[in-house]
Structure 1
């Protein structure tokens, strides 16, 4: 099965990314999208092109399964694909739903037009892996949303609702109803327009850029705690103001490579993969039936047992807590209550929510009260 499909709806070619679960832009996807683009450009009937994602989103960016493998750098690279899309003589429209993050957003930024579902989520989260957007994101995003918004998004890696960027040049329309149908209709409406708009051609009109960047540098330095990526992100975005587009791309690439080779990013990427590996057990298949957990029990009301019980209560699952005597049981419950009351004082929970969760914790001194629990966890203190 192809990692991207090609269809034609009247005068509009539709290329659909199809790489579950998040349409990562792996090598097979890049090949298939480029083949679809070439097919559309060779077709006299196709006057415009729509790129969209199958499933729950447009694209969450690079395919993590290809990290640290030769396929990540195999042609066509993401840079090659983005340049081909941007240089297309026929208009290319990105239709975004769900998420457009990282390289997925950079691909959309290279399209001539972007339409989106109002509840789509947008982000450049590379900084969280000790990196920066390395496929033009630091140069195109500021031209789309402005310098300040781009700095906030890229330095923090925060996710932003597409609707919050409605007034920017990032989006050209928010179709109602079926997004694919709306994108195709939009593409037909712009098929004959020339010249094709490209974000790279937009001037960076930021008269107060120098002052803002100096302020941002002080703020980022104060919170980055020695991590180089946030300041390198700022340096890359600053190049969008001070340098021509192609020179800015080279600056971005140099900064990206320096971060990629650094120990901080290597450590963050290692942790990223380790967290995902920890959730997988080699001899347990993905299709193993799961058992519903409606009630739980914890044996032991000490520090560990109390914390485990709170996790169940936080998930809305009633949990029995067993101890050997009244005194340690009461002490454990008092500790749990203290934690919830502290969260309420800090505004993390309402008083009602704290009481609701506390009400799910059921103290007991008898093993018989654990008989109907779907899961029992032993957390008894041991010498």
Structure 2
């Protein structure tokens, strides 16, 4: 709803639709009604539009997208035009955020004032759509084409001060000021002044003459930043129309662009992603607890054991969350180096204005270097971040168990190892869990939390709450080798080298993946991470080329197909970017360059095994790279390791840079159609058999297709649970 009041001669219309004042249908009805009341009242000389509660309207109600109610009158653009046409000065009083449809409302007002702490922006592109209430036509008229293209095509939020510097905001109210009182006084001061040039539909785009140059520039940038995504391109095309067409015709271009995007699978995928981010916080550990029933323990202090790259990032995340942070290294040089890095990074954040002077000082004072486990006896949470070795981790957990107070939670940052086995080294298995951060931990948003067989409800609730405090996308999963992310990713890397054996070179595989939308292909990612990481894991499993007895077939490990090309690379010193050569070569930069030496290694291997390379289509490469991920995802759902398909999709979007506009591996399967996905998987399983178990069709996927075809992704788990309850 909206509320109407008057303060002498100024009408105040306040949106009151908590928590975010979304512009739902009932709100829009009230706004248009109250604008008519204010316009008709002879005692009203000016109108202030504001938000009750925590914020100005943040935008349209996303739940109404793709529903008929979104088209019911009045629309947001009806309100925008009513604000602009008013004969009385209209002033938007912005506090909190004015985003999307909220900023479009403000652009309909003749004037805009904002709190210095406010954020403004048009982020619709992140939902796979565009600003559909005149934003593509109005914003360029205020801040110019170049800036409008940046704001709309990338969808970032901007401080109100930046908006003021560009002419979008007419007055800034200092922190602690009264935005509503300031708006009333400002509105009164505008009474009697001409409104002609304050009506943006009457204004020309200031840099319209540069439209072709700017269009070419931003199309190039969009192509690099948002590979394969449709919405940024359509946004630019529609913004271009603001410089070439009348306001009225530009609005028609905007309407057509919006209809195109709403009909696309991309907008549906990105809206799914928007809600999925919020769903993952509603975690469930079957048979133990869920988000609604479990209460977290209060955590005031966190200890990070191990100050390598990962430990340093975790410590920074802890400090940013306001925790007293003990950093532990038994080696004094390693401790000093780790602390120096952390302190330096805090200063860098301060210089970049990412944190204030006060925050930086608080973070610096919260660092407590420790060189023995006895120094962390009273912390609330320990996060171990040492080398990925079970023996070492169990030894550390045994020591921590002896020195830490009984209430301390012991968490491991392991990326693959069995949490229950780690917990077995302690006498407090109910207090042990996994907290798998992704490198660099202070930048990557994903936190994959793992509960063990004996993890308590309080322990699970606490690690989930800590993830929230660290502002991570925090997903709870069950315990198995590799958990969700790395268990699935293992088959992605396995299939990639099989493709090299048969048909392609690294750059060909990577091009297919970047064309699909990944920022980097599988082999470039391998070089960036370090090819020796996978080699160490394979060494631990005893399957590398060098570990095999004489006479062992190069392409077999027992009954399983194996490709040793990755082993050959590491054994030749091609560890990746850090040494300037891996699957690619690097000449003084991070840019991968196809290397004839790698082709030679692959060609000689093929010749030795009488493999004649064949032509392979991009479609086959994409299917072979992505469908094993999808198949394993269904197996993970079957086993209850992940509670929902969107948990898997958020892990892949935020941990593995899966292109957001396709939703994630599980949503992509739904988009393609489960019957088609299963058909391809079955064909590969029939051809490969037991030597390639990643192609064995998931029981869940098979059952869903046979009984329901391609059900909506929201119904997969309910259908399976109903089926299991009957069997």
TM-score (norm 2): 0.45
- Partner in structure 1 of residue 161 of structure 2: 163
Alignment counterpart, residue 4 of structure 2, candidates 6, 17, 23: 6
- Partner in structure 2 of residue 249 of structure 1: 251
For residues 280 and 341 of structure 1, the distance between their equivalents in structure 2, rounded to whole angstroms, comes to 35
| 1:240 maps to 2:242 | yes
3-state secondary structure, aligned to 1:193: coil
For residues 79 and 27 of structure 2, the distance between their equivalents in structure 1, rounded to whole angstroms, comes to 10
For residues 66 and 304 of structure 1, the distance between their equivalents in structure 2, rounded to whole angstroms, comes to 42
| 1:183 maps to 2:193 | no
For residues 37 and 298 of structure 1, the distance between their equivalents in structure 2, rounded to whole angstroms, comes to 57
Cα displacement (A) at 1:366:
4.0
- Structure 1 or 2, whichever has the larger Rg, is 2
- Partner in structure 1 of residue 539 of structure 2: none
3-state secondary structure, aligned to 2:50: strand
Cα displacement (A) at 1:340:
9.6
Cα displacement string for residues 98-157 of structure 1 (whole angstroms, at most 9, x for unaligned residues): 211111000000111212223321111111122211111110001011111111111111
Cα displacement (A) at 1:213:
2.2
For residues 276 and 236 of structure 2, the distance between their equivalents in structure 1, rounded to whole angstroms, comes to 28
- Partner in structure 2 of residue 74 of structure 1: 72
Cα displacement (A) at 1:359:
3.4
Identify the structure with bigger relative contact order (alpha carbons < 8 Å, sequence gap 6+): 1
Q: Is the 8 A contact 1:294 1:374 kept in 2?
A: no
For residues 129 and 188 of structure 1, the distance between their equivalents in structure 2, rounded to whole angstroms, comes to 38
Structure 1's unaligned 5+ residue stretches are: 323-328
Q: Is the 8 A contact 1:297 1:375 kept in 2?
A: no
- Partner in structure 2 of residue 200 of structure 1: 201
Alignment counterpart, residue 102 of structure 2, candidates 91, 101, 104: 104
Alignment counterpart, residue 300 of structure 2, candidates 294, 300, 307: 294
- Partner in structure 2 of residue 20 of structure 1: 18
1:226–1:187: structure 2 CA closer, same or farther, 3 Å change rule? same
State how 1:206-217 maps to structure 2 within 5 Å. 206=207, 207-217=209-219
Cα displacement (A) at 1:371:
2.7
> Relative to structure 2, which stretch is displaced further, 97-106 or 118-127?
118-127
Cα displacement string for residues 186-216 of structure 1 (whole angstroms, at most 9, x for unaligned residues): 2112222344420111012323333222222
For residues 231 and 7 of structure 1, the distance between their equivalents in structure 2, rounded to whole angstroms, comes to 43
Q: Is the 8 A contact 1:124 1:158 kept in 2?
A: yes
- Partner in structure 1 of residue 405 of structure 2: 371
Cα displacement (A) at 1:273:
0.8
3-state secondary structure, aligned to 1:16: strand
State how 1:1-383 maps to structure 2 within 5 Å. 3-175=1-173, 177-196=177-196, 197-206=198-207, 207-281=209-283, 284-285=291-292, 291-295=297-301, 312=318, 315=321, 317=323, 359=369, 363=373, 365-373=399-407, 375-377=409-411, 381-382=417-418
Q: Is the 8 A contact 2:316 2:342 kept in 1?
A: no
3-state secondary structure, aligned to 2:172: coil
Greater share of residues in helix? 2
TM-score (norm 1): 0.82
